[in-house]
Structure formats: C-alpha cells, structure tokens
C-alpha cells in the first residue's frame, strides 16, 4: 500500500510540474510589475530569505522562524473540482492554454484555475471543533489532537465567501454571490437556452429568483456530523462578512452585524431593495450596515431589526457623512470618495465598543445598545486604500487596522510596493478617540505571482505583551509585537513559495488565528495548516507556555473577549523573561527570582518565601522605563504575593 | 471528449502512473470498467485516504432549505463549478473592447493637453484598465473561450436585421467614431472637456454593463467574475465622482 502511495504521489507531482509549465507559459502575461517606489517610500526587503522560495502547489519551498509547521490537511475531495472527461470544455480549455490534447492535466491544476469558487475563507472555533469557511460551503475539523486533526464533516452550500461564526448550537455563514440558493444547491441558477441558429433568443428564466439566497444562513450544529439549516436572513447586498455580537445584558439573543460590499439586488427579488444615491433615495441599501437579531431558542425567527446609518453626518443628516480623504490610489488627485460600506467590524462587548473597517474609514462604534450602534469616532489615512479589518489590544487601548490594498487578489508585497501601503495601521485609543501611531507591513518582499497584503489575524495571549498572528495571503504568516504602538516588530513567521512562478494563482493564508495553544491557518488553495510557536530570542518558552495556559471554549475572532491570565508561576516566569529582555530587573534579581520559583514549584514551604520577593519587585515598578514594563512588574509581584498553584 | 480519448491513448504509452494519478483524482468520472477498477481500488485509496478515522469517515452533507433536513452525500462527491452563462463570456469579451477604448483615449492625452491633473488621471486609468484587460483575457483563456467576440455571436444576439457590422457601438457608453474623431482634433481645455465628458460617459456605460450582467438570468455566478465586477463597480464609481469634480473646474 505504501509503495503504491509513493508512486502515485510522485507521478502527481511530475504531472503537476509538467502541466503548470505549459499553462504558466501561456498565462504569464497577466503578471503585474510594480511601478517605481514613490519618493520617500521604502519597499519590502528583497534580501529576506522569504523573498525567493521555490514555487509549487504542494511542494513549494518553505521557511519559518519561531514557528513549527505541524501539518497541512489538504482540502477535502468534495471541495475540489472533479475533471469531467466527457466535457468538451475540458479539451477546449486545454487547447486554448496551449496544453497538447494528449497531456493529462491533473485535477489539482484544473482546480486552481477555478480556485476562488472553492477558496477556503475564515475560521471559527468551539470546543474541540474548528469551522473552516469556504466559498463552496464549509468543513468541520476535530482538533482535539493538534498534530493529528481530522475532518469530521464537509458541508456543501455554495455562495461565497462563507465567513463563519459559531455560538453554542448555532453556526452562521455569510453568503453574497448570485449562485447562492436557499436550499444550498450547487447548481446555481440556469441561463436562458442558447438560441438555435438563425433564431431569436427564447424567453429564459427571470433574472430575479425567489430561491436565490444572499445574506446570513443559520445552521443548527447540535449534530456535528449533520448540520441543519434552520434559518436564512436575506439582505439587499448579501453578506460579505458578519460579526457575532453578544449582549452582556441579554443572553437570550445574539446579534449579527452584516457588512455587504457587493451590488444591491433587484427589488423584484427582495422587496425594498434599492441602490440609489444617498441624497435622492432615502431607502438606499448603500451607506448602512444591517443588524440581525437571532433569538437563541427560535433561530428560525431571526430577522433584520435595524439598518444603522453609521456614516451619517450628525449635523446635516446626510447619509454620506464620511469619506476616505483621498487615498494613495489617487492621491495625486486628492479627491475624497464616499464611504458607503463596512468590510468588517470587530466588537468588544466587554468594553462596549466596536471598531469598523469601512472601506474608506476606520470607525469606532458605541455598541452598548447592540441593535443601535452609534459612531463615536472616524479616521482616514492617505496611505490606506481599503480599510479591511480591525482588532483591539486586550486592554482596549490600541486598535490594529488592516489595509487590503488591491483586494487580496493582487501582488502588493513586491520590492517596489511601499511598506506603508497594504499594511497594518496601529492606533492608540484614548477617551474614545483614535490616534495614529505607526504602520507594520510584512517585511519580506514577495514575488509578482504571489497575492499578498495585510489580512486576518488574532491576538496571541502572551501576558505582558500585545502580540498578533496574522495572515498575509501568499506572503505567509507573520507574528507582530505591537506592545509599543510606535515601533511594531516581527517576532516569528512562516512562508511558502508561490503556487506558480509565472502566473498568479489565488492562494495563501486567508486567516491565521491562535486558538488554545496552536495557530490555525486557512490556506485558500491548499487546505488547513496547523502550527505551534517555538522559542526564539524574541519569545521564550515560558511566554509560549503562559499563552498556552489560556484556554477558551469559543473563538470568533471578530467578537473579542478579554483575556485574564491566571496568577500562576508559569505566568510569573513569562514576566521574568520579559523583564530580563527589557532589563527591567537586574540580572542578579532575575537569577534569584528564577531559583526561588523553581524551589516553590516543588515545595509548598518555598511558596511562602516568594512573598518576601514581591515587595522589591513592586518597588522597581516606580522606576519602570515604560507603561508595559511597569505593568509586568506589578503583575509579577501580585503573583509572587499569592500564586495560584 | 478530447480529454477522454487522450487518456485512453495514454494507457498504451509507458506513463501508466500518470493515468493512475489522473484517474485517482476522478474516481467518480464515467470511465469504462476495462480501464481498471482494480487500479482505482488499489492505488486510489491510499492517495485519497485522508482523514480515514477508525471512529468513522467524514460525513459529506448538503443542507436543505431552512427547516428541511440535510442530505447525506456519497464520500466520492466532487465539487462542480457554478453555471457559466454565455452572458458572462460576452460580458468579459465586451468589457475588454470597452476597456480598450478607454486606453486608446488616454493615449491621446500626451499630445493634446498640459493639464497636469488630467495627465495623472489618464495614467491611472490607463494602468488600471490595462491590468483589468489582462485579468479578463486570462479569465477567458483559462475557460477556453475566445478573447474577442465572434461576429456570429455578436450578430446572433442582436437581430435578424443584419447589423452585424458592430456590436462595439451598441455597448453602453462607448464613444461613437464621430466623438472619437472630435476628441482627436481637440486641444487644450477643449480636449480636457471632451475627454472628461467622454470618459464619464464611458465609465457610466461600464456601470450599466455590470448592472445588466447582474440583471440577467444565470449570469454573474462565477466567483472571479463576481469579484471583478464588484471591483469595477466601486472603482469606476469613484473615478466618475473625481471626473465630475474636475469637469466642474474646467472652463
């Protein structure tokens, strides 16, 4: 059996190579060269080892720092295009690509031509299950054993992008594309039959379809192997993303903030939908988000309860009260363009705030009344092309926004792409006001055939530091420390070479999230990647252990929950490592503390002795170099005083 | 059909493993039994045998409409692409021509106006439209469709009347040959004005083409085409606003 597997796998690899060569040589003309760097801008680093990795779908070169790749689970069969040998299209397509008709083209390469139709998208987690969204449906994995995760359920239900959230027995999924059907059918909607030669076209099916679905689907996942659709809430622009919002005061319902970014559908299909200009059409489906209320015990009754006009000018009442201020995409013209949509919203119910990444602006919302979010601040930035997503720091004092310049399908990390464009922007948040601090972009240059730009990430719960792991499409995964908002730094990374050297095939990491000790990455074309962090000079084993000690029962990354670290000796050791790194404690103190903790770990009597050390640690806090160091010293002394064992 | 017979032929060549590889990736295809069920069962199971859990193989299900039960599907189920309509293909072919005219218009700028703002706008339009044309050509090629609209198709979708001469002029927003020649003759601020009004007309036409596409039964269901049209729609809307403001300033 093993013998056959090796041979078969090798021959797949060979034919992938041969066929990619044929296909690539025909399609190479599509690659975009980066224009010269604008004056005063810096590009990405071409000397980084990530800049020149060998290409391949499943055999690309890989490199990492501070990250260990545990496994790649390839996309399940049901999410890969079967080659229908009887289809005349197949032969025709190959001929057009310059591939001789006699060359067998493996499904793997075929699949990537139609990649986006089966692209993996966002991730959600609950208990031992990982929910991986896909334009074609979603997959559920059992991740109880990280190095041996297993597919449990493949659910077919096309409609893109398949952004998923999970809450108790319910799972929610975004649908925006015109092929989405209420019944999850993969057949989409028929076209009118082609007219016979010399005949006028026949009357075809109507464009408006009562069975079309664009909005948010609700599934009951009580039986994890057999999710059942229990509700489906239609919206005018569909749902590009959605965000689960819990109400601290009312546990009987949850809310979904729906961000629609595509066209407004016909009134004939969904009554009440129109997409007129904001000054002429008071009902326009542009310039708003949709809020869905889901009663937990009757999800079938979920419905849109509000359409907040969150871009409204408070003085004039005009719906189009916000604009991007003119972006670098057209900065030479300096013409502001209206903001009429959010792309994604991250809520932090415990602090009553949400950060919206809303195409032309980053906005701050008061969500204490979840059905009626109110804008309290808005920023724009000349280096930003498209405000895409947001994350709060755990203490709620910073917000990291991302700029999806080029829409995710473009190569935007080339040597000549400025490192302020398509980057993260870190803002300080004080008294409900956002204040710009700095940019962070993947430092390594990527090739012209790698789609690359800032994308989705989550916090890594290392106590005493603000750390975010983040997807950069084919730029790979980068772990950023933004404890000091004015100088974020990279502390770990993983990257693969391009899927193909000569043509840009849609791929790479869509989302990379930390969940209960491991990093999970939704790889658009390849499958599900699982990683763990490994110690480096930038991050110690104690810090990793302290992060791993934080266990949650659910993770929807756009629904942030506050992390409280237990007052354990593991956490204390992480703080000591940080204080040693920043020289916030003398090396003598560090050695003494480590010895005392080591003793306390084995003997109860020695736990008492830790108390004596607490005072001197706390005294150092008064002379701490910065706020972060002061907090580490205070937290450390609190643990020494009364450790949880 | 071509693909099918190619594989049969291959069977008699030495590269049997390639056949097996291609076959393994398609156990659900309709193949003659003679090609070897044995090969599928022996060689494919290990290759495809991912996640075979002693506790039960993964379930493949397809939900029903809200309130309806889900269907359990065979583990051999493969993905199928959403339907692609003739309208999608014509949209891409038409949009390549449509973009072509925009690029042609921008090449006129250099010799006809010193307006710095307009020259920058021209560069930007030229670059983005050229990039998009490349994308559209790639989309069509990868699907085995011709890059240019065939005259027969253009005529067929039109009429019995025989205006097969030009689908081009019937595309929304395209400048007529008279408009183009007026633009070519103009200089300075008169050129600026004609260029801006022409390009606004042209961009509004692109919006009409996108709306038309989405208002056509069966169209716009391909993921890449859907993404592309969403981008065209928002990008051209923004440029129209910019040009309207510029036009307000042009004497």
**Strand partners of residue A21:** none
Residues A227, B63: C-beta atoms closer than 8 Å: yes
Give the best residue of A111, A191, A279, A336 to mutate against chain B (max B CB count within 10 A).
A191
Question: Nearest-CA distance from B176 to chain A in Å?
Answer: 27
pTM of the model: 0.85
Report the chain B residue with the minimal C-alpha distance to residue A505. Answer: B138
Predicted complex ipTM: 0.87
Residues A263, B59: C-beta atoms closer than 8 Å: no
Whether residue A611 has pLDDT greater than 70: yes
Q: Average pLDDT in the A253-273 region? A: 95
Q: Average pLDDT in the A9-22 region? A: 37
Cα(B224)–Cα(B211) distance, integer angstroms: 16
Touching check for B214 and chain A: CB below 8 Å? yes
Question: Which of A7, A178, A207 is nearest residue B17 as measured by Cβ atoms?
Answer: A7
Question: Which of A74, A81, A265 is nearest residue B50 as measured by Cβ atoms?
Answer: A74
Question: Which of A86, A106, A229 is nearest residue B66 as measured by Cβ atoms?
Answer: A229
**Strand partners of residue A171:** A166, A219
For residue A156, the chain B residues in CB contact (below 8 A) are 60-62, 73, 77, 79
Give the best residue of A1, A11, A28, A29 to mutate against chain B (max B CB count within 10 A).
A11
pLDDT at A87: 52
Using the structure block, give the residue that is written with the tokens 């001469």.
B165
Residues A337, B238: C-beta atoms closer than 8 Å: yes
Touching check for B26 and chain A: CB below 8 Å? yes
What strands lie across the sheet with A215-220, from one edge to the other?
A161-167, A170-175, A215-220, A228-234
What is the bridge-based pairing of β-strands A387-392 and A398-403? antiparallel
What strands lie across the sheet with A241-247, from one edge to the other?
A241-247, A250-259, A290-295, A303-306
Touching check for B148 and chain A: CB below 8 Å? no
Residue A323 DSSP class: B
Residue A397 structure tokens: 């004092």
Report the chain A residue with the minimal C-alpha distance to residue B224. Answer: A116
Instruction: Give residue-wise pLDDT tens across range A407-461.
Output: 888 899 999 999 999 999 999 999 999 999 999 999 999 999 999 999 999 999 9
Q: Name, in order, each residue with C-beta under 8 angstroms of A192's C-beta and a sequence gap of 6 or more.
A: A201, A202, A203, A204, A205, B217, B218
Whether residue A114 has pLDDT greater than 70: no
For residue B143, the chain A residues in CB contact (below 8 A) are 89, 93, 113
Question: Nearest-CA distance from A506 to chain B in Å?
Answer: 10
Residues B50, A188: C-beta atoms closer than 8 Å: no
Q: Average pLDDT in the B12-34 region? A: 36
Touching check for B248 and chain A: CB below 8 Å? no
Pick the more confident residue, A53 or A605: A53
pLDDT at B151: 59
Q: Average pLDDT in the A562-567 region? A: 96
For residue A77, the chain B residues in CB contact (below 8 A) are 48, 75-78
Residue A117 structure tokens: 């139709």
pLDDT at B50: 35
For residue A201, the chain B residues in CB contact (below 8 A) are 157
Instruction: Give residue-wise pLDDT tens across range B56-71.
Output: 799 999 999 999 999 9
- Chain-centre distance for alpha carbon A583: 35
For chain B positions 54-113, those within 8 Å of chain A (CB to CB) are: 56, 58-70, 72-73, 75-83, 85-87
Choose among A142, A157, A78, A86: nearest CA to A111.
Answer: A78
Residues B85, A191: C-beta atoms closer than 8 Å: yes
If pLDDT is split at 50, 70 and 90, which confidence band does B251 have? low
Own/partner contacts of A47-51, CB < 8 Å, gap of 24 or more, are A48/A443, A48/A444, A48/A445, A49/A444, A50/A444, A50/A445, A50/A446, A50/A475, A50/A476, A50/A493, A50/A495, A51/A415, A51/A444, A51/A445, A51/A446, A51/A447
For residue A14, the chain B residues in CB contact (below 8 A) are 18
pLDDT at B126: 87
Report the chain A residue with the minimal C-alpha distance to residue B17. Answer: A11
If pLDDT is split at 50, 70 and 90, which confidence band does A327 have? low
Reported as half-sphere exposure (CB side, CA atoms, 13 A), residue B140 has a value of: 21
For residue B26, the chain A residues in CB contact (below 8 A) are 82-83, 85, 107
| Helices within A348-452 (DSSP H only) | none
Whether residue A596 has pLDDT greater than 50: yes
Instruction: Give residue-wise pLDDT tens across range A467-506.
Output: 999 999 999 999 999 999 999 999 999 999 999 887 788 8
Residues A8, B77: C-beta atoms closer than 8 Å: no
Choose among A96, A278, A144: nearest CA to B138.
Answer: A96
Taking residue A587's Cβ as centre, other Cβ atoms within 10 Å add up to 9
Residues A116, B227: C-beta atoms closer than 8 Å: yes
Touching check for A265 and chain B: CB below 8 Å? yes
What percent of chain A has a predicted confidence (pLDDT) above 70? Answer: 87
Whether residue B7 has pLDDT greater than 70: no
Indicate the average pLDDT of chain A. 88
Q: Name, in order, each residue with C-beta under 8 angstroms of A274's C-beta and a sequence gap of 6 or more.
A: A236, A264, A267, A281, A283, A284, A285
């Amino acid at each position: 059996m093993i013998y056959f597997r090796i041979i078969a796998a090798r021959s797949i690899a060979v034919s992938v190579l041969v066929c990619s060569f044929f296909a690539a040589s025909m399609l190479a003309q599509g690659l975009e060269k980066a224009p010269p760097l604008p004056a005063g801008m810096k590009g990405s680093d071409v000397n980084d080892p990530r800049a020149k990795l060998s290409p391949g779908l499943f055999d690309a070169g890989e490199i990492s720092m501070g990250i260990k790749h545990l496994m790649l689970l390839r996309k399940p069969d049901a999410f890969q295009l079967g080659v229908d040998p009887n289809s005349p299209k197949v032969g025709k397509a190959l001929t057009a690509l310059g591939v001789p008709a006699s060359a067998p083209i493996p499904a793997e390469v075929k699949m990537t031509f139609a990649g986006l139709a089966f692209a993996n998208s966002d991730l959600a987690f609950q208990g031992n299950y990982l929910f991986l969204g896909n334009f074609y449906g979603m997959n559920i994995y059992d991740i109880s054993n990280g190095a041996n995760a297993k597919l449990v359920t493949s659910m077919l239900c096309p409609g893109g992008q398949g952004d998923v959230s999970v809450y108790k027995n319910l799972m929610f999924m975004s649908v925006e594309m015109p092929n989405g059907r209420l019944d999850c059918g993969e057949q989409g909607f028929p076209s009118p039959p082609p007219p016979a030669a010399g005949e006028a076209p026949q009357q075809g099916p109507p464009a408006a379809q009562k069975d079309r679905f664009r909005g948010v689907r609700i599934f009951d996942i009580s039986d994890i192997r057999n999710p059942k659709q229990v509700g489906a809430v239609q919206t005018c622009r569909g749902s590009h993303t959605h965000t689960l919002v819990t109400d601290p005061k009312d546990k009987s319902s949850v809310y979904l903030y729906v961000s629609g970014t595509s066209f407004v559908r016909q009134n004939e299909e969904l009554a009440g939908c129109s997409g007129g200009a904001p000054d002429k059409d008071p009902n326009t489906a542009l310039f708003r988000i949709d809020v869905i209320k889901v009663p937990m015990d009757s999800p079938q009754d979920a419905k849109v309860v509000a359409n907040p006009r969150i871009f409204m000018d408070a003085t004039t009442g005009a719906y189009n009260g916000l604009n991007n201020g003119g972006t670098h995409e057209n900065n030479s013209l300096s013409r502001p363009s209206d903001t009429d949509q959010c792309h994604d919203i991250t809520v932090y119910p415990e602090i009553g705030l949400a950060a919206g990444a809303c195409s032309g602006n980053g906005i701050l919302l008061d969500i204490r009344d979840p059905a009626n979010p109110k804008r309290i601040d808005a920023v724009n930035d000349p280096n930003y092309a498209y405000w895409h997503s947001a994350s709060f720091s755990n203490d709620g004092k910073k917000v990291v926004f991302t700029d999806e310049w080029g829409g995710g399908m473009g190569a935007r990390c080339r040597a000549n792409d400025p490192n302020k464009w398509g980057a993260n922007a870190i803002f300080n948040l004080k008294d409900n006001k956002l204040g710009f601090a700095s940019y962070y972009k993947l430092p390594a240059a990527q090739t012209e055939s790698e789609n690359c730009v800032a994308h989705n990430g989550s916090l890594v719960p290392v106590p005493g530091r603000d750390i975010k792991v983040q997807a950069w499409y084919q730029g790979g995964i980068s772990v950023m420390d933004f404890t000091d908002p004015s100088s974020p730094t990279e502390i770990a990374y993983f990257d693969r070479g391009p899927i193909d050297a000569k043509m840009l095939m849609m791929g790479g990491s869509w989302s990379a999230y930390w969940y209960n000790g491991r990093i999970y990455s939704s790889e658009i074309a390849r499958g599900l990647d699982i990683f763990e962090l490994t110690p480096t000079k930038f991050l110690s084993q104690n810090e990793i252990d302290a992060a791993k000690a934080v266990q949650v029962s659910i993770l929807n990354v756009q629904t942030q929950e506050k992390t409280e670290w237990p007052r354990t000796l593991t956490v204390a050791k992480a703080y000591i490592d940080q204080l040693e790194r920043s020289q916030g404690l003398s090396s003598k103190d560090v050695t003494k503390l480590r010895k005392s903790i080591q003793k306390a770990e084995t003997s109860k009597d020695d736990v008492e002795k830790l108390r004596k050390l607490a005072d001197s640690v706390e005294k150092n806090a008064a002379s701490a170099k910065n706020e972060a160091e002061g907090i580490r010293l205070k937290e450390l002394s609190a643990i020494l005083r009364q450790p949880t064992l | 059909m071509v693909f099918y017979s190619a594989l049969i032929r291959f069977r008699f060549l030495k590269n049997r493993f390639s056949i097996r590889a291609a076959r393994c990736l398609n156990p659900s295809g309709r193949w003659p039994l003679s090609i070897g069920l044995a090969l599928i069962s022996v060689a494919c199971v290990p290759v495809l045998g991912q996640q075979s859990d002693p506790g039960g193989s993964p379930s493949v299900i397809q939900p029903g409409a809200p309130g309806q039960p889900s269907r359990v599907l065979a583990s051999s189920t493969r993905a199928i692409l959403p339907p692609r309509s003739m309208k999608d293909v014509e949209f891409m072919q038409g949009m390549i021509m449509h973009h072509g005219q925009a690029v042609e218009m921008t090449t006129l700028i250099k010799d006809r106006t010193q307006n710095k703002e307009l020259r920058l706008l021209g560069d930007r339009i030229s670059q983005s439209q050229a990039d998009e044309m490349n994308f559209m050509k790639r989309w069509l090629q990868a699907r085995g469709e011709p890059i240019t609209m065939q005259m027969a198709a253009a005529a067929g979708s039109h009429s019995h009347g025989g205006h097969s001469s030009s689908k081009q002029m019937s595309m929304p927003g395209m400048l007529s040959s008279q408009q183009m020649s007026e633009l070519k003759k103009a200089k300075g601020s008169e050129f600026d004005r004609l260029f801006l009004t022409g390009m606004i007309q042209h961009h509004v036409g692109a919006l009409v083409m996108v709306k038309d596409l989405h208002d056509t039964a069966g169209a716009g269901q391909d993921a890449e085409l859907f993404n592309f049209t969403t981008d065209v729609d928002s990008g051209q809307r923004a440029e129209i606003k910019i040009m309207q403001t510029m036009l307000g300033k042009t004497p």
